[in-house]
Amino acid sequence: MKYRFVIFLCTLFYTSSCIAQNAPLYEFRAVWVATIENIDWPDKKGMSVDEQKAQFIHLLDMHQHNGMNAVVVQIRPAGDAFYPSQYEPWSEYLNGKQGLPPTPFYDPLAFMIEETHKRGMEFHAWLNPYRAVFNIHTSSIAPSHLTKIHPEWFLTYGNIKYFNPGMPQVREHVARVVKDLITRYDIDGIHMDDYFYPYRIKGKEFPDEKTYRQYSRGLNKEDWRRSNCDSVIKLLFETIRNNNARVKFGISPFGVWRNKDKDPMGSNTRAGQTNYDDLYADILLWLRKGWIDYVVPQLYWERGHKLCDYDILLEWWNAHAYGKQLFIGHAIERAGSNAAWRDKNELPNQIKNLRNYSTTQGSVYFNSRVFEKNPNGWSDSLRLNYYALPALVPPMKWIDSIPPPKPFIEKLKNNNFRIVYNGKEKIKGFAVFVLPPNIKEKREYATLIDILITDKISLFDRTKSIASSDDRIFTAAVDLNNNLSEWIELK
């Protein structure tokens, strides 16, 4: 099949000189789709299967229309599953009762992946490693939930029940869940957010003293907690590499690693809680060790914020990515919440600022449902301006650096072309570039205008593209890891 990014504004107004704007060839453009408490999808419990499917298709179409090339979907919100699992029960957020499968039966995860890939988008499976029961007073708990089978693995803090991060059995269980996912499903990434040890509750200590005494290994409690998080990240990284090496592993931490008053390496911020000191997530260690492939710090503050300035944190994370991919988490949900977020230029300026750094390679937005309202006109801004032209997800050369073979071209009648791929490696499709006349034939001077989604053959009609009659048009094969082949001219 063929997929064409919607760029009608370019069709109406852009000439070849205009489309050679600063449109990045590679940029991760994603949205978090939260399932916990039915935040995004499905937006209520107990929807019929047809309603669930229709709502997810609508969600994908909206984000595709806005220029996104990936979704990050929460498929394990609380020790449960949005797919048939031998390890954990069906999520209550599907049908209203934990352990209850869809009727008539279908596999929501397989369905979501298939629909996402049809659109040429990546699917990253978002897991919460330690949350087990979202609310001990109101959540539905199935007899097969691990809190019933292994109650000794869990601790209650506030109204939430957590897997105990200090127990080796817990880390091994999370690794089993991840191995199951990456060996049964065609996912592009495993993604975890900021919930490692829980955010502190004033006046309450996380109740892990007994576990600490049993497993402390001579460490103080703070270092022991960090070591527990380090251990699960390293184990998950090894599990992914040993079982499906093309799957990426990413973390989306709270936006502040440490404040500068605690550590000279920290950022010039005054966050009340931080990854290192409160959530016990030493993100910089994981980046330095190469245990994660990408990081998405949640920079949910505005530019000029008194305690945590977006621009200060953007610069800091760019200086501490350690060669791994850095994407920025944006809080589109904050639109209209205060004067700064009522400014229609806040999000556009955040995007413009991050594009000034070569080490930053994209954005992820929280949350999906907000886009329905087009807050501050930002959906329009993305669709018609910042994401008007398509971009490929940045390849990870440490995972796969081998390009696919180049396609060959058959010229048909009336400026139509057949693009054919005969390589053995699977591909995502064909990238189409335009190069203005009299410009040196180098890819860095060309502009990506289209991505044709196919596994073998696609048709291209020059008259329906945004290229002018003088432009030269080239195409290249794109493999599943976003490597580009040599390009070939359509002539």
Question: Alpha-carbon dihedral of residues 159, 98, 150, 129, nearest 10 degrees?
Answer: -70
Average pLDDT in the chain? 95
Residues ≥6 apart with Cβ < 8 Å to 24: 355, 391
Q: Where are the domains of the chain?
A: 1-23+397-491, 25-386
**Which of 88, 68, 58 is closest to 76 using CA atoms?**
88
Position 11 pLDDT exceeds 80: no
pTM: 0.95
Quickly state the pLDDT bin for 22 (edges 50, 70, 90).
low
**Which of 220, 225, 313 is closest to 269 using CA atoms?**
313
Domain 1-23+397-491, architecture per CATH: Sandwich (2.60)
Segment 125-150, tens digit of pLDDT: 999 999 999 999 999 999 999 999 99
Position 428 pLDDT exceeds 60: yes
pLDDT of residue 110: 98
Segment 256-282, tens digit of pLDDT: 999 999 999 999 999 999 999 999 999
Position 3 pLDDT exceeds 80: no
Cis status of the peptide bond prior to 367, with omega within 30 of 0: yes
- Percent of the chain having pLDDT more than 90? 93
Segment 343-367, tens digit of pLDDT: 999 999 999 999 999 999 999 999 9
Quickly state the pLDDT bin for 391 (edges 50, 70, 90).
very high
Position 18 pLDDT exceeds 80: no
pLDDT of residue 238: 98
Segment 325-345, tens digit of pLDDT: 999 999 999 999 999 999 999
- Percent of the chain having pLDDT more than 70? 96
pLDDT of residue 374: 98
Residue with tokens 């191995």: 179
Position 399 pLDDT exceeds 60: yes
Check if the beta carbon of residue 302 is closer than 8 Å to that of residue 341: yes
DSSP one-letter string for 134-177: S-TTT----TTSHHHH-GGGEEEETTEEEE-TT-HHHHHHHHHH
Position 19 pLDDT exceeds 80: no
Residues 78-84 have a mean pLDDT of 98
Residues ≥6 apart with Cβ < 8 Å to 98: 80, 89, 90, 91, 92, 139, 140, 141, 142, 145
How far separated are the first and last CA of the chain, in Å rounded?
Answer: 23
Residues 17-35 have a mean pLDDT of 81
Residues ≥6 apart with Cβ < 8 Å to 480: 246, 426, 427, 428
pLDDT of residue 4: 38
Quickly state the pLDDT bin for 415 (edges 50, 70, 90).
confident
Residues 213-242 have a mean pLDDT of 98
Position 14 pLDDT exceeds 50: no
Domain 25-386, architecture per CATH: Alpha-Beta Barrel (3.20)
Position 17 pLDDT exceeds 90: no
Neighbours of 176 (CB within 10 A): 15
Residues 191-198 have a mean pLDDT of 96
